[in-house]
Amino acid sequence: MFSGLIILLISFLDVKAIPEHLFVFIMGLIFSFVLLGYSFYLWRKKKQGKGFSWDDKGIVTDILKDYLKQTGALIQE
């Protein structure tokens, strides 16, 4: 979320030069809104308990937990 806000602020840093560099300004806006949207999407998934987490070996653990919940093999977390 922080990177999306920083890119959004950088896009408005030189307001007078926006008409000269309109393409770069528009691409900065699009990229910042994509980053912000994806961060809010991941934040909602984390609040729902479906976020990503890694164990000590770097393996994504939620994929395994979701599979075990679906099969009924996971009794307690």
> Is residue 27 a part of any domain in this protein?
yes
Asked if 64 and 58 count as a contact pair (C-beta separation under 8 A), the reply is no
| 62 assigned to some structural domain | yes
Neighbouring C-beta atoms of residue 7, cutoff 10 Å: 18
- Tell which wins on pLDDT, 31 or 4: 31
**What pLDDT score was predicted for residue 9?**
86
pLDDT over threshold 70, residue 54: no
Domain residue limits at 31:
2-71
- E-strand spans in 1-77? none
3-class DSSP state of 7:
helix
Q: Which residues pair with 54 in a beta bridge?
A: 60
Counted domains in the chain: 1
pTM of this structure: 0.59
Tens digit of pLDDT for each residue in 13-45? 888 888 998 999 999 999 999 999 988 887 887
Residue 76 in domain: no
Q: Is residue 77 part of a domain?
A: no
